[in-house]
Chain A
C-alpha cells in the first residue's frame, strides 16, 4: 500500500516557493503524437500497417520491415515488470529534487518492451497495467501501475506528479449560481479538496440552491463576476495564491444564429462571459498559478475549461454562442502556451448539450451537470487534459477528426441541426 498523503501543513512564510523544474521535454514530432494521445488518457503505440509490428519508442519507419506506414493504435496495456532501477542521483534538476525515483522496463503482453515510471506498490516481476499521461513538462510518458487497485494508490508521489488530484488541494469554481457550478463544488468537496472557493455574481439577485451550496464542506462563497474586471482582480488579490485548481463554470448561452439575432447585444454578452471572462480570469489568476506549479503537495496543478463541443465547429442553432465558445477554445490553446513548462495543466472538457434551461428544447441525449462535474473530477484525478463528454460530443469530435470541413457542411445543412 501507498503511505497516505498527509494534509500539507500551512506554508512557512519565511521559505521561498520552489520554482517549477521540469523532466526532459525534448520530443520528436512523431513522439508529440504520443503526447497528444497521452493527454486524452489513451495508451497508444505505432503499429506497422504492413507487418503489424508494434514500435516503441515512436519511430519514423518500421524497424522490422522498413515500411513508413505506421499508424497510432490503442494497445492492450497489460504487461510485466522485468527490470527496475531506483534513481538516486541525476544531473536533471527535476529528478534531483525528487530522489529516489523508480523507473523500469515492462514487457508488454502486446509485444514491445517499454521504459516507464514505476508506481511504489508494484513489486518485482509483478504484472502491471500501463498508463500514458503527460508529465510536468507536458510531454507523454508511461507509468506502470499495480495490476489491481491498492490502498491510497493515488497518493504515490510519482503518480501524483502526473495527476491533478483534488485531494488536499484548494479549488476555485468561478460560477456557483448554476446547477453545474453547485455540482462541481460538491464533487470537489467529495474528492477531498480542502477549500472550495465558489464565485457568486450579483448576490443582489437570489438563486436556486444557495443554501445547499453554502452547506457543502469546504465551500466558501466569494463575490466573483467574470464580466467585471474589478471583481475578478479583487478575488485574485484575496485568494489567487490558493487556487490550486480553477474550474471555469461560467457560461453564457442563448439560442440563435446571426440572422436570428436582432443586433449584437446578446452576442456581446456571450463574449463578455465566454471569451473576455476567461481572459480576465487568465490575467488575474494565471501568473500566480504558473509560478506555483511546484509548490509542495498542494501545488497549483490544473486550469479546467468547460466548453461546448460546438467550439470545434459552429452549430447555427446556437450560432453566435458557438462562435464565442470557439474564441474561448482558441484562448485556452494560448493559455497552454503560457503554462507550458509550469507543471500546471490546461484541461479542456468538450461536452454535448447540457441538461439545463437554455438547452431545454434540445432532444436527448444530454449531459447532466452532475455527470459533467464527475467527469472533471475524473480528469483531475487521472491527469487527463482533453476530454470529450456525451454521445453528441463524441460524435462531433469523431467527425471532426475525420474531416473538419465535412463536419462543417453537415452541421450547417438545412435540418441537420436538431438531429445532432
Chain B
C-alpha cells in the first residue's frame, strides 16, 4: 500500500465517522494536583491564569489571559533531558525530538483491577508477558500506557499522600527495561502524577521509569485520562508537546484515534 493510499483510507474513515478521537487530557485547572517534592527542593508550579482583558477598559472587544505553569503541570510530556540520565543525549528536549514520536501506535496495559486492590501496585515483566499472551507482542516503536483508572480519582485520593509519601501504582525497573530492551518502545505513559509509582523513590534505581526511559532517550506521558476508552491494541496516539526551546517537557493535548466499536 502506498503512503497516499494509507492516508486516503485514514481520511475516508475519519470523514465516514469510523474513527473516534478520544481525548486523554485533563483540563488545565489551577486546582489539579501536581507532584509534591520535599519542601526544600524546588516545586512544580501550579497552573495559573491572570486576565489581560475581558471586554472591558483593558481591551473592550476581546478576552485574553496570561497563563503560567511548569513544564510538568497537568497532562504532560517528559522529554529525556528531564532526567539526569538523559541530560547528554542528542535530540532530547521537546523542541528537538523527532516528530514521528508524537504519532505512534499505542498499547494499553489494563492494571485497573490490580491497582484497585493495591494502591502501590507495581507493573512487572511477568504482567506484560501475560498481557502479550492475549494481545500479542508490544510492537516496536509503540507507546505503552498503563491503565490504572487513577484518573477517575480526585482531590486527596489522587496523589494519595500520606506521612510516608504518595501511594500510587507504577512500573518496576524490570518492566521498563523489558519494554525498552525487548520491545523497543518509544515511550511509556500513566494516569498518575508521574510515570513512576508513588513510593518509587525507594526502588532501585529510584524513579526507575524516569531513570531508565530517559536514559534510553525514550519519552514519558503522565496525568493521562480516559484510558478506559482505549482498546488494548490498535489505536493511534497523537501527543505533540509544545515546541519549547530546550524544554524538559510540556503540558499538551493527548488524543487517541480509535476505530469505532473496538473497545
CB–CB A205/B159 < 8 A: yes
B interface footprint on A266-281 (CB within 8 Å = 1, 0 otherwise): 1001000000000000
- Residue on B with the closest CB to A272? B48
Asked, given contacts A231-B31, A266-B42, whether A204 binds B48 with beta carbons under 8 Å apart, the answer is no
| B residues in contact with A269, CB < 8 Å | 43
A206-B156, A206-B161 known; A230+B30 contact, CB < 8 A: yes
Contacts of A206 in B (CB 8 A): 156, 161-162
In the assembled complex, A390 has its CB within 8 A of some CB on chain B: no
> Which B38-86 residues have C-beta < 8 A from chain A?
42-43, 45-46, 48-51
Digitize B24-43: 1 where CB-to-A-CB distance is under 8 Å, 0 elsewhere: 00000011010010000011
Stretch in A43-51, A145-153, A154-162, A220-228 with 4+ CB within 8 Å of B:
A220-228
The answer to whether A229 has its CB under 8 Å from any CB of chain B is yes
Q: Is B98 an interface residue (CB 8 A)?
A: no
Which size bracket describes the interface of B in this complex? 10 to 19
Query: Of A202, A223, A228, A266, which one neighbours B48 at CB under 8 angstroms?
Result: A228
The count of residues in chain A whose C-beta lies closer than 8 Å to any C-beta of chain B is 15
Chain A: minimal CB distance from B54 (Å): 12
Indicate if the CB atoms of B49 and A204 lie closer than 8 Å. Answer: no
Contacts of B30 in A (CB 8 A): 225, 228, 230-231
Alpha-carbon distance A228/B45, docked complex (angstroms): 12
Q: Chain B residues with Cβ under 8 A from A229's Cβ? A: 48-51
CA distance A223 to B155 in the complex (A): 12
Q: In the complex the two chains form, is A205's CB within 8 Å of B156's CB? A: yes
Number of A-B residue pairs having CB atoms within 8 Å of each other in the complex: 40
Q: A161 to B13: give the CA distance in the assembly, Å.
A: 75
B31 touches A202 (CB 8 A): yes
Judge whether A265 and B49 touch: CB under 8 Å. Answer: no
Q: Find the A residue at minimum CB distance from B48.
A: A228
Proximity bits, A223-259, B CB within 8 Å = 1, else 0: 1010111110000000000000000000000000000
Q: In chain B, what residue has the closest Cβ to A357? A: B39
Kindly list chain A residues whose C-beta atoms are within 8 Å of the C-beta of B161: 205-206
| CA gap between A227 and B30 in the complex, in Å | 10
Whether B211 is near chain A, meaning CB under 8 Å from some CB there, is no
Task: Decide yes or no: A204 and B42 within 8 Å by CB, A228-B30, A231-B30 being known contacts.
Answer: no
Residues of chain A lying within 8 A (CB to CB) of residue B42: 265-266
Q: Are B156 and A203 in contact (CB under 8 A)?
A: yes
Say yes or no: is B143 at the interface (Cβ < 8 Å to chain A).
no
Find out whether the CB atom of B46 lies under 8 angstroms from the CB atom of A227: yes
| B72 nearest CB across to chain A (Å) | 13
A227-B46, A229-B51 given; name 9 further pairs at CB < 8 Å. Answer: A203-B156, A204-B158, A206-B161, A206-B162, A223-B31, A229-B50, A231-B30, A265-B45, A269-B43
Minimum-distance CB pairs A-B, first 10: A204-B33, A228-B30, A204-B155, A204-B156, A265-B42, A229-B50, A230-B30, A204-B159, A206-B161, A205-B161
- Where the two chains meet, the residues of A that have a C-beta atom closer than 8 Å to any C-beta of B are 202-206, 223, 225, 227-231, 265-266, 269
Report which B residues bind A (CB closer than 8 A). 30-31, 33, 36, 42-43, 45-46, 48-51, 154-156, 158-159, 161-162
